[in-house]
């Protein structure tokens, strides 16, 4: 089958996160006391079944940025075609789409939080990739759509503020994705997050 038409919808979606400072938003540090420990800045870790070697062979995992799902799918196709030209199985390459994330109890609250963060900037911030500002259930729907449409093999979530956004992802997003069969749970998630002093409601229960 052509690399361009292979669809990952039959495989579990990988969900990774990039942990950076107080969060991805440049004004995050003014709104939280949390900081990723020194030496662990920009730490990239999978939150679902840990089958990806994110720190290993760079050819096996490709991160992409895009401003809409159509562009993301085209970039995935390019990465797979490149692997095929190099004589490798395109299915051996996992393409992960960067998604900036800010979550709240409702969409209005999420937009208010983003406006509060943006108010501390001198110039308007332009998202680096697809951005989701809303609720946990909305993010569940977006990630399920990404898998179903074959847009990417996974996502790298970029929390705009830590640890609040990551807490909601672990407590309110991942369990639903696992129940729906979109993702597979990680058996070492608690250990991974513990390195950063993070304890979430789902892991504490």
Please state the rounded mean pLDDT for residues 190-194: 85
What is the pLDDT at residue 9?
Answer: 65
Nearest to 200 by CA among 25, 34, 26: 34
φ, ψ of residue 44 in degrees (nearest 5): -110, 120
Whether 118 is covered by a domain: the verdict is yes
Whether 68 is covered by a domain: the verdict is yes
Determine the structural domain holding residue 79 and report its residue range: 8-204
Please work out, in degrees rounded to the nearest 5, the angle formed at the alpha carbon of residue 35 by the alpha carbons of 169 and 155.
35
Whether 17 is covered by a domain: the verdict is yes
What is the pLDDT at residue 198?
Answer: 72
pLDDT tens per residue, range 107-123: 999 999 999 999 989 99
Whether 88 is covered by a domain: the verdict is yes
Task: Please identify which residue in the block is written with the tokens 């729907």.
Answer: 141
- Produce one character per residue of 42-68: b if its CB has 16 or more CB atoms within 10 Å, e if not: ebbbbbbbbebebeeeeeebbbbbbee
Q: Supply the CATH number for residue 122's domain.
A: 3.20.20.30
What is the pLDDT at residue 199?
Answer: 65
Q: Which of 3-7, 31-35, 46-50 has the lowest mean pLDDT?
A: 3-7
Whether 31 is covered by a domain: the verdict is yes
Are the beta carbons of 155 and 15 closer than 8 angstroms?
yes
Whether 1 is covered by a domain: the verdict is no
Please state the rounded mean pLDDT for residues 142-166: 95
Whether 3 is covered by a domain: the verdict is no
Number of C-beta neighbours around residue 203 at 10 A: 14
Whole-model pTM: value is: 0.89
What is the pLDDT at residue 41?
Answer: 55
Are the beta carbons of 56 and 30 closer than 8 angstroms?
no
User: For residue 103, how many C-alpha atoms fall within 13 Å in the half-sphere facing its CB?
Assistant: 24
Whether 193 is covered by a domain: the verdict is yes
Are the beta carbons of 67 and 126 closer than 8 angstroms?
no
What total of structural domains would you count in the chain?
A: 1
Q: Cα separation of 20 and 5, whole Å?
A: 34
What is the pLDDT at residue 1?
Answer: 37
Please state the rounded mean pLDDT for residues 28-57: 75
**Confidence tier at 203 by pLDDT (50, 70, 90):** low
Q: Cα separation of 140 and 146, whole Å?
A: 10
**Confidence tier at 127 by pLDDT (50, 70, 90):** very high
């Amino acid at each position: 089958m052509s690399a361009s038409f292979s669809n990952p919808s039959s495989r579990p979606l990988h969900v990774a996160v990039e942990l950076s400072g107080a969060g991805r938003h440049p004004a995050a540090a003014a709104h939280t006391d949390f900081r990723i420990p020194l030496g662990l800045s920009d730490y990239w870790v999978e939150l679902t079944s840990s089958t990806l070697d994110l720190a290993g062979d760079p050819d096996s995992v490709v991160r992409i940025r895009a401003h809409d799902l159509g562009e993301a799918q085209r970039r995935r196709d390019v990465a797979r075609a490149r692997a095929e030209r190099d004589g490798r199985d395109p299915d051996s390459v996992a393409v992960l789409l960067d998604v900036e994330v800010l979550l709240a109890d409702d969409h209005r609250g999420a937009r208010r939080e983003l406006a509060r963060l943006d108010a501390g900037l001198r110039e308007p911030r332009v998202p680096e990739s697809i951005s989701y500002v809303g609720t946990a259930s909305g993010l569940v729907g977006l990630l399920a759509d990404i898998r179903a449409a074959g847009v990417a093999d996974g996502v790298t979530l970029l929390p705009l503020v830590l640890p609040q956004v990551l807490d909601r992802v672990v407590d309110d997003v991942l369990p639903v994705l696992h129940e729906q069969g979109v993702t597979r749970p990680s058996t070492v998630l608690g250990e991974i997050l513990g390195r950063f002093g993070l304890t979430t409601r789902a892991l504490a229960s």
